[in-house]
Structure 1
Amino acid sequence: MKLLILGATGPTGRHLADLALRSGDSVTTLVRNPTALGDLAEKVTPVTGDATSHRDIAAAAAGQDAIVSALGRGNSVRADGLFTQASAAVIGAADEAGVSRLVWLSSFGVGSTFAESSATQKTIYRTLLRSIYADKEIADNRIRSSGLDWTVVYPTRLTHGPAKGTYSAGDRLPMKGNPTISRADVAAFMHRAAHGSDWIHRSPVITD
């Protein structure tokens, strides 16, 4: 499969790129600075560009089977419009390039999933993550309203632990406390979703 990965220099995106390569996929990455890919640069097709640019994404998406976005803000709690701008660019570029499949990484607690979160989670989402979650909600709704074969993924709090492969995934999951899931497991789920049709037009919640 030919995959365009957005956010490949981030921790989740790196797991995703490594897994895709091990699985035999052809991987293209859109990055501002190809040197940030490190040793990955020799194994993928790096395209220099901006994930909020329609033109850059359209160029990178040409000939791809799917776009998988693992974009994130790192340790920042400010969105700065990343997700709203990137979602608009991705939708337009995917249509222009003729790519219908999109797997998009969001966060549990965004949008309607907020109502399903625990009291502990709600406190965090209303305060520390308020800016990012507001931006993500606009982006997620825009993607669901697009004509693409989308999947919007909602992981709980991300960790840097190893993949366990024992996480739960569902349209709705009960929450207690502030559960976690490793970035490696999130990447594995997104990769599997891109290769199948089970999660098309669905918004899976995933957690350990």
Structure 2
Amino acid sequence: MEGADQAMNISIFGATGRVGNRLLPMLLSSGYSVRALARSPEKLKSHPSLQVIEGNVLTDKDVQTTISGTDIVISTLGTDKQNTLQRAFPLIIDAMIQENVQRILSTGTAGILNARRDPAIFRFETNESKRRSTTAARDHAEACKLLQQSPLNWTIACPTYLPEGEASGIFRTGADFLPEDGKSITTGDTALFLYRLVSGEESFHRRRAGLAY
């Protein structure tokens, strides 16, 4: 990557998480400048191109400070039983609009891809999804709807079963659907897909991307 790509400034939410902590070194090693919001900054290793902001994604001032002056936003935030995603994304979207930042990349779950038998509904609403609990998928779905209703240029990476593992660079993608018979993909390859979106190797503009081997 040369020139303008290396000068790109990136803001990231969820850098200490399972996918975020694999993506962050990829970005930094490629010359990007990164600003990360973290509740526990000590979990992130210092780097000349990394600015860490201590704060909370549910605090609008912290979100806006993180996004201000950057070119692209990445969210690898996880979900919980407190609806963190659907509470955080309105703040992220509003800050992006105020700061005139158009591109956002996010992680989701395969449960919010289209069901093959009925593409009008999410996979988690059918027996295509094997998870018993739908709490996490519903939180991701609400965040997805917020992005769909926004004017932003978004992409949601939607991995299926997500074990820890290194990036192989060999995986399948599907626009709005999970690749046929997809069973798993590692945190490393999910991070690599996001990296490819940043670099322009992949696009999926205003689409969900199903990820699997």
1:14–1:79 distance in 2 versus 1, CA, 3 Å: same
In structure 1, how many angstroms separate the alpha carbons of the residues matched to 2:21 and 2:130?
A: 30
**CA displacement at 1:113 relative to structure 2:** 4.4
Q: Which amino acid aligns with 1:148?
A: L
Alpha-carbon RMSD across the aligned residues, in angstroms, is 2.2
Give the structure-2-normalised TM-score.
0.85
* Structure 2 match to 1:151: 155
Identity %: 26
Return the match for 2:23 from 16, 19, 22.
16
Q: 1:158, 1:68 → 2: CA distance?
A: 19
1:92-126 CA deviation, whole Å, 9 max, x = no partner? 111112211100110001253485759875231xx
Q: Report the structure, 1 or 2, having the larger helix content.
A: 1
Tell me the amino acid that sits aligned with residue 36 of structure 2: T
Match of 1:87 among 89, 92, 102: 89
2:37 aligned with 1:35, yes or no? Answer: no
Q: Which runs of 5+ in 1 are unaligned?
A: none
CA distance in 1, matches of 2:127, 2:83: 26
1:199 is aligned to 204
Alignment counterpart, residue 62 of structure 1, candidates 62, 65, 68: 68
**Which digits, 9 at most, give the CA deviation of each residue in 1:23-48, with x for residues without a partner?**
111111001121122x2466510011
Contact 1:4 1:29 in 2 (8 A): yes
- How far apart, in 1, do the equivalents of 2:48 and 2:87 lie? 29
Amino acid at match of 1:34: P
Specify which of 187, 190, 193 is matched with residue 194 of structure 2: 190
Greater CA deviation, 105-114 or 45-54? 105-114
SS at match of 1:158: coil
- Among 107, 117, 123, the alignment partner of 2:130 is 123
Letter in 2 for 1:163: A
- The aligned amino acid for 1:107 is T
The more displaced of 138-147 and 39-48 is 39-48
- Aligned residue for 1:109, secondary structure, equals helix
**Structure-2 residue corresponding to 1:160:** 164
Residues 148-206 of structure 1: per-residue CA shift (max 9 Å, x gap): 11111111111111111110012134443x71101111111112112327221111111
TM-score, normalised to structure 1, is 0.87
Aligned residues: 199
Q: CA deviation at 1:9?
A: 0.7
Which moves more between the two structures, 49-58 or 145-154?
A: 49-58
1:138 corresponds in structure 2 to 142
